[in-house]
Structure 1
Amino acid sequence: MSRDAVTEKDTTTSLDLSEAGLYGAAFETARDQVRALISQHPGTFPTFTDAGAWHFEEDPWAPTWSAGFLTGLLWLFADRDETGWWREHAQRYSELLEPRKRDDGTHDIGFLFTPSWGRWHAVAPSERTRDVLIEAGRTMARRFNERGQYLSTWVHPGSTFIDVMMNIGIIYQAGHLSGDETLTEIATAHALTTRRYLVRGDGTSVHEAWFDPETGVFERTATHQGYRADSSWVRGHAWGVYGFGTAYSWTGDARFLDTARLLADTYVARTGDRLVPPNDWDDPQPRFAYESSAGAVVASALLQLADLIGDPGGDRYRRYAYRLVAKLSGPDFLAQPGSGWEGVLRHATYHLHNEVGVDESVMWGDYYFVEALHRILRGRVAAIGS
């Protein structure tokens, strides 16, 4: 099945006044933090903080990939602003990203364009927004390896990440907007390959799979950010919950919904009442107790999944997400304006082994946290579509 511009369904889980106040206050705090960033450093796209201050130098790990998250935050704030101030900035930041619709140096085209131009198209569809999304999706689709049936990463033509599941939505959307079924087939093929090689039978997930790019034969698994190749890097796992839910929302293929549920159930079982996970569940001596960006991603993913399933089956995912977001909204994680901490969510980690953004704020953590708050506060789950 294809998705409308914004798919919305009322949930059966209601908020009492104290809960609504907690989430609303957290949303306002995030808005204040982001307002300070774009006022003091206009037109910049930081990825992570150093000692709580945004880092503005080039990303030391990957081709710059996080600019869509700051832009997406502006669109989220615009949705709850009648003055037009946030929308004006959201459009300007989106326009700054437009040239990257042809960027073939990254596998994160979806991260760049779904929160930015995708949200713009959802609220004000036009020929311009349509054309940008189509071109961005086609750029992403050119990474497809026909023999291996996967989308490659910037690391190597033989590499794919679980993260790429978060970038196939832009291909599905481009296929829907253009009527090009080949794009839809590419996105689905990659999701099936990921399901086969990056999702384990026990419901855990793999960070990276390697293939022979000439023959397409699968060779091995690996990790860049987890404890080891056979462990469970949790943010990658969160990408999987969200990405397979997105694949189901575009296709109606029950295999993708089953996989999203399997991964979600594993998260809940392994994290339990702690709610916020470490960087890797299998690390016997984690340096830090929490990796809050993984929690933020999975919170929004669970809200998406709850809507896709419907009630009563989806309500348990929604209840868990509410508890998770409430914890992230508390003083242990949420930065406060005036404290000197410039990000929104504390205790996130970008790349543990490379010592990049460790126990800091990261832009995707802030984005998915606010996206989850936005969904909760609207009383329904809203998913970007075409």
Structure 2
Amino acid sequence: MTIAFESLDPRYTLPQPGLSQAWLSEAISEVLVKIDAMLPRFALTFPAASADGGIYPEVGKVDWTEGFWTGMLWLAWEVTGDNKYREVAESLLDSFEERLNKRIKVDTHDLGFLYLLSCVNAWKLTGDLRARSLGLRAAELLYQRFDTTTGVIQAWGDLNDPARQGRMIIDCNLNIPLLFWAADETGNVSYREAATRHLAQAARYLVREDASTFHTYYMDIHTGQPLRGDTHQGFSDDSCWARGQAWGIYGFALGFSHTGDITQPELARRLAHYFLNRLPDDYICYWDLIFSEQDHAYRDTSAAAIAACGLAELLKHLPLTDPLRPAYNTAIGLMLRNLRTHYFAHQQDGLLREGVYNFGRNMGINEPNLWGDYFYFEALIRLSRIWTPYFC
């Protein structure tokens, strides 16, 4: 299948002022103030996936998102060196260990989001052997979700549930780095082979010919043949869910870091053009890319933050002479500038207003959400210094 390569919207080729170090420093300081305000409430537990009326409820080990809170704490520690962030992040390791011991909500591919941002980075940053062990246990659970016939990691649910078997989703692009890390740590080539095969199947079936993406895709677990694509969170099976497209940009850009496959950054580039060419005037996407200004649809600031990180990752793998590097830098700057200027959650919990969790299920609509907060912070860190991402 040939994937379309759209020309980039001329808006991104116009000269734009960059984000200065002073601007980035001020933006990071704003983030730290918000994290400090939340820290007393979430030292022993976690914010929910999305806010309710602008306030994050407290939750335990119930969702796929708890790692984003510890991820923000580790980012804050890296930026400041203040051990109050490290101490809370390390204390929450007990929760991630209990989750594994009692098998609480671990029937999911989201083990990457959970354990990369809590345990794997704790090991990388501090040499915590317990954190390393927890990360490896989570990686083994993720590997067990890999089906050798289809070549994909089952997204959710009981592996014996016929309704869920053979289902992959675009979000998994950001979870499989857990397997690449575990392969490097242990020498177990099966982890790497599973992650590489899944990434190839995602590129083959989740990406449409026009470089838009399905949210989900089903494979026949008996024959390995493709069945159909649909959506779980987008507007329709034929539309392009904005956050899914952002997961694709970031995940395929990361794919090169882990596999050396030169087709991965080029695929990320194609997805990025599709995404950027459908942004409204303030460069913050609607929750599905099918919408335009006259639809008055909700934005999804979290998708914009993920896409900014994905573009920054893509830039790492492009030659310095690539003619579109300035355009991608402009796009990142425009999105981050407008997120901070128009969508920062000054009067709410969290960092970004106007995220959308799951529109069809009436979940977290027009609210801050935890992954949007994390990736906004990550994007600022990426631009402000030389930094090794937690997904690498």
Change (3 A) 1:64 1:377: same
Report the aligned-residue RMSD: 2.3
- C-alpha distance in 2 between matches for 1:116 and 1:310: 33
Give the C-alpha shift of residue 246 in structure 1.
1.6
- C-alpha distance in 1 between matches for 2:391 and 2:302: 23
Which residue number corresponds to residue 338 of structure 2?
A: 327
Amino acid at match of 1:249: S
Q: Is 1:307–1:381's contact at 8 Å kept on the other side of the alignment?
A: no
Deviations 1:290-347 (A, max 9, x none): 11000011111111111122423244323321221111111x20012xx3x1121001
1:359 aligns with 2:360: no
Q: Show the 5 A alignment for 1:144-163.
A: 144-155=146-157, 156-163=164-171
Which residue number corresponds to residue 6 of structure 1?
A: none
1:306 aligns with 2:315: yes
Which residue number corresponds to residue 70 of structure 1?
A: 69
Which residue number corresponds to residue 5 of structure 2?
A: none
Amino acid at match of 1:88: E
Which residue number corresponds to residue 109 of structure 2?
A: 107
Q: Is 2:123–2:129's contact at 8 Å kept on the other side of the alignment?
A: no
Deviations 1:18-44 (A, max 9, x none): 733333222222222222222134322
Q: Which moved more, 1:97-106 or 1:179-188?
A: 97-106
Give the C-alpha shift of residue 273 in structure 1.
4.8
Change (3 A) 1:18 1:372: closer
- C-alpha distance in 1 between matches for 2:129 and 2:233: 40
Q: Is 1:54–1:343's contact at 8 Å kept on the other side of the alignment?
A: yes
Deviations 1:173-198 (A, max 9, x none): 10111001111000000001111110
Higher relative contact order (CA 8 A, sep 6+): 1
- C-alpha distance in 2 between matches for 1:83 and 1:34: 13
Change (3 A) 1:280 1:215: same
Q: Is 2:42–2:58's contact at 8 Å kept on the other side of the alignment?
A: no
Deviations 1:217-269 (A, max 9, x none): 22111111111111100100101111111221011011212211111122222
- C-alpha distance in 2 between matches for 1:385 and 1:293: 17
Amino acid at match of 1:308: H
Which residue number corresponds to residue 293 of structure 1?
A: 302
Which residue number corresponds to residue 372 of structure 1?
A: 379
Q: Which moved more, 1:359-368 or 1:245-254?
A: 245-254
Which residue number corresponds to residue 256 of structure 1?
A: 264
Helix, strand or coil for the counterpart of 2:299? coil
Amino acid at match of 1:118: V
Deviations 1:336-385 (A, max 9, x none): 2xx3x11210010101111110000000000000000111121x353236
Q: TM-score, normalised by structure 1?
A: 0.88
Which residue number corresponds to residue 232 of structure 2?
A: 224
4+ residue segments displaced more than 4 Å: 15-18, 284-287
Give the C-alpha shift of residue 215 in structure 1.
2.8
- C-alpha distance in 1 between matches for 2:130 and 2:17: 41
Helix, strand or coil for the counterpart of 1:358? strand
Q: How many residues align?
A: 364
- C-alpha distance in 2 between matches for 1:247 and 1:126: 27
- C-alpha distance in 1 between matches for 2:50 and 2:17: 34
Which residue number corresponds to residue 92 of structure 2?
A: 93
1:176 aligns with 2:187: no
1:187 aligns with 2:195: yes
Q: Which moved more, 1:88-97 or 1:247-256?
A: 88-97
Which residue number corresponds to residue 205 of structure 1?
A: 213
- C-alpha distance in 2 between matches for 1:274 and 1:206: 25
Which residue number corresponds to residue 390 of structure 2?
A: 384
Q: TM-score, normalised by structure 2?
A: 0.87
Which residue number corresponds to residue 81 of structure 2?
A: 82
- C-alpha distance in 2 between matches for 1:68 and 1:201: 34
Gap regions ≥5 residues in structure 1 = 1-14
- C-alpha distance in 2 between matches for 1:286 and 1:138: 45
Amino acid at match of 2:374: Y
Give the C-alpha shift of residue 107 in structure 1.
1.3
Q: Is 2:109–2:155's contact at 8 Å kept on the other side of the alignment?
A: yes
Gap regions ≥5 residues in structure 2 = 1-15, 158-163
Change (3 A) 1:112 1:57: closer
Q: Is 1:118–1:385's contact at 8 Å kept on the other side of the alignment?
A: no
Helix, strand or coil for the counterpart of 1:221? strand
Helix, strand or coil for the counterpart of 2:355? coil
Amino acid at match of 2:95: L
Which residue number corresponds to residue 164 of structure 1?
A: 172
Q: Is 1:293–1:348's contact at 8 Å kept on the other side of the alignment?
A: yes
Amino acid at match of 2:187: G
Which residue number corresponds to residue 11 of structure 1?
A: none
1:240 to 229, 241, 248: 248
Change (3 A) 1:17 1:255: closer
- C-alpha distance in 2 between matches for 1:238 and 1:94: 29
1:123 to 122, 125, 141: 125
Amino acid at match of 1:303: A
- C-alpha distance in 2 between matches for 1:292 and 1:280: 12
- C-alpha distance in 1 between matches for 2:139 and 2:192: 10
Helix, strand or coil for the counterpart of 1:349? strand
Amino acid at match of 2:34: Q
1:270 aligns with 2:278: yes
1:215 aligns with 2:223: yes
Amino acid at match of 1:317: Y
